Amino acid sequence: MTTPSPRARDARPASSAGLLLKIGASVAFTLVLLGLVELVAGFFVAPMRPQEIPGDSVSRTVTYIEVNPAPLERDVDLLWRNVPGAERTQLVNPQTFGRRDEWTIRNNWSGFRGPDLIGPAGGKRPFRILCVGDSITFGFSVDQPDTYPRQLSELLAKRHPGRPVEVINAGVPGWSWLQGLRFLDLRSTDLRPDLIIVGHGTNDQFFPSKFTDEERFLRLAAPAKRVAQKIAIFAAETNLFRAVSRFLPPRPIDALSPGCQHQINISGSCRRVSVEQISLAVHEIAELARSRGTDLLVVNTDFVQTQAVKGTRAAIDKDSLAYVDLVAEIMARRRRDEDGRAVRLGLPPATQAVPPTAASAEQPKPVLLRVLVPDPGQSYRVEGMGYFRPDFTFSQPLHDDGFAGDEKAGDSVFSTIVELPAGFSAIQYKFYQHDKAEFAAIPPLTSTLGDRALRAAANTTGPVDVFAQSLFLVERAHPDRDGHRVIAGLIADRLETFPAFRDYVQGGAGRTGSGE
């Protein structure tokens, strides 16, 4: 056996060290190169705009997260969530005539909009209320102190001094009932709320879909799919991926999922969550709350008034759940305000909206539109179209001379009659002073939710609107500060009927443990 020379033995460590140095240098060079590519790619990739993105509402939300007014990030368990620690100030959309309103978002490090969670003091913590929902709960387009969870917290502090209540705003814009259910399944144990307030609906049923939320979550149940999704989420955050994806052919979007095909066979259309799935989700949330000893209050926050409320009400009735119809309450207050204004001005109130019959739907309908203006010396007009039907549009001057439908000359109520063609049962519209709209949508979300909407039967008289005012609402989907104040009051009143809450504020012992 030949013994290696001392020089050969010394050469082995040197060779190994040299190899390690080469590997390290190669890794460092690769990382630097990738960093430079990422940096350079950032100069060539502009944020995508919603109108550029094909696909359904979930696809668009996930794709244009980077320009969403509410800071969101992709999440393998929930599809998306709020960005923890995010802060942002931006213009309210739409902007109201003559104003420049802003709203500020400050998320805590758990991703909830509001302060960090309160720890225990002396082994006890405050009565904890967990508010789960979509952009209504989050407080889309309202400033940080004006969301209903924050106003609820302040209202309860005034009503019950010395009995601290913690209200957590876990609302996430765009969430559906299935996302709310999944969040509660994942987080309610560690958050340990005494009461859950939950409300969804608009996102479930408003937009057509090609893939259901149920199918998205089932697909992520497989471990391999979850790993692939995590890798995709990481890649999607890089400039390099966004730059390359701009040159790839778009994914086919015409194919409907089996879940959507099933919905279409039953109802003729597909939505993210069907009415039946909504009912089941509410039921499962109720069962989850019962199993964890938590009170539950279900609320209707679907101000667009889709079919989602049918699913919610079915579960409410079946399970005898505590419920507040926030939409009905606010719409009733708006109606009283409109009717009261008409009476004060000596004008007839608006025609009550009624669903059209088959015969009335095929008849032309004269619709009287009226608006109380701030400066009657200016000129005004109204523009609009059929409700989400641009195949009928109108633009007509308004007048206050007692002719052609105007009911009283010189009362600062400008009016016109719109002839709604047969086959149309509703319109959306807004008023203009000269060329300036009362509500102006701003990019990147230039939607028509800032328009007014009116159902039309034969000889419809619209409400006496007030130029550039929409009581309780920023636009048709979202309450403003005053709307959130009303919601906080309605919920606070309902909380007084829960025995656990009543016992707590009357001096019962607080819950023990950290709850974190």
Question: Is pLDDT above 90 for 200?
Answer: yes
Instruction: Please check whether the two domains, 54-219+250-330+478-506 and 352-458, share a CATH topology.
Output: no
Residue 255 confidence (pLDDT): 79
Average pLDDT over residues 105-109: 97
Residue 50 confidence (pLDDT): 42
Residue 164 confidence (pLDDT): 94
Nearest to 304 by CA among 209, 442, 385, 203: 203
Q: For residue 242, report the phi and psi dihedrals to the nearest 5 degrees.
A: -65, -35
Contact assessment for residue 316 and residue 382, using Cβ atoms and an 8 Å cutoff: no
pLDDT band at 23, cuts 50/70/90?
Answer: confident
Q: Quick check: helix, strand or coil at residue 214? A: helix
Residue 36 confidence (pLDDT): 62
Radius of gyration of the chain (CA): 28
Question: Is pLDDT above 80 for 47?
Answer: no
Structure token digits, residue 266: 């039953």
pLDDT band at 11, cuts 50/70/90?
Answer: low
Average pLDDT over residues 306-335: 98
Question: Is pLDDT above 70 for 301?
Answer: yes
What is the identity of the amino acid at 21?
L
Q: In the chain, what are the domain boundaries?
A: 54-219+250-330+478-506, 352-458
pLDDT tens-digit readout, 359-389:
555 678 899 999 999 999 999 999 999 998 9
What is the identity of the amino acid at 239?
N
Residue 167 confidence (pLDDT): 97
CA distances from 117 to 72, 109, 121, 516 (A): 20, 9, 12, 8
Q: Which residues pair with 183 in a beta bridge?
A: none
Tell me the torsion sign for CA atoms 404, 405, 408, 413.
negative
Residue 22 confidence (pLDDT): 74
Question: Is pLDDT above 60 for 236?
Answer: no
What is the identity of the amino acid at 25?
A
Region for 507 from its dihedrals, namely left if φ exceeds 0, alpha if ψ lies in -120 to 50, beta otherwise: left
Question: Is pLDDT above 70 for 249?
Answer: no
CATH 2.60.40 fits 352-458, yes or no: yes
Instruction: Give the Cα separation of 458 and 356 in Å (integer).
Output: 9
Q: What percent of the chain has pLDDT over 70?
A: 79
181-195, 263-277, 444-458, 468-482: least confidently modelled range:
444-458
CA distances from 380 to 68, 272, 377, 470 (A): 34, 40, 10, 18
Which residues, in sequence order, are CB contacts of 5 under 8 Å at separation 6+?
Answer: none
pLDDT tens-digit readout, 140-173:
999 999 999 999 999 999 999 999 999 999 999 9
pLDDT tens-digit readout, 218-232:
988 766 655 655 555
84-98, 220-234, 374-388, 491-505: least confidently modelled range:
220-234
Rounded to two decimals, the pTM is 0.85
Q: Which residue has the higher pLDDT, 227 or 201?
A: 201
Burial class of residue 157 (count of CB atoms within 10 Å of its CB; 0-12, 13-18, 19+): middle
Residue 52 confidence (pLDDT): 38
Topology of the domain covering 54-219+250-330+478-506: Rossmann fold (3.40.50)
Q: Quick check: helix, strand or coil at residue 106? A: strand
41-45, 113-117, 132-136, 485-489: least confidently modelled range:
41-45
Q: How crowded is residue 437: how many other Cβ atoms within 10 Å of its Cβ?
A: 18
- Quick one: which H or E segment has residue 512? strand 511-512
Residue 398 confidence (pLDDT): 97
17-26, 69-78, 327-336, 357-366: least confidently modelled range:
357-366
Residue 20 confidence (pLDDT): 74
- Quick one: which H or E segment has residue 324? strand 322-324
**Mean pLDDT, rounded, of the chain:** 86
Instruction: Give the Cα separation of 138 and 132 in Å (integer).
Output: 9
In eight-state DSSP terms, residue 117 is P
Instruction: Give the Cα separation of 502 and 500 in Å (integer).
Output: 5
Instruction: Give the Cα separation of 433 and 440 in Å (integer).
Output: 12
Residue 270 confidence (pLDDT): 95
pLDDT band at 499, cuts 50/70/90?
Answer: very high
Question: Is pLDDT above 50 for 105?
Answer: yes
Residue 10 confidence (pLDDT): 55
pLDDT tens-digit readout, 181-196:
999 999 999 999 999 9
Contact assessment for residue 184 and residue 77, using Cβ atoms and an 8 Å cutoff: no
Instruction: Give the Cα separation of 348 and 462 in Å (integer).
Output: 10
Which residues, in sequence order, are CB contacts of 315 under 8 Å at separation 6+?
Answer: 278, 279, 280, 281, 282, 283, 286, 298, 321
Residue 406 confidence (pLDDT): 95
Instruction: Give the Cα separation of 57 and 179 in Å (integer).
Output: 14
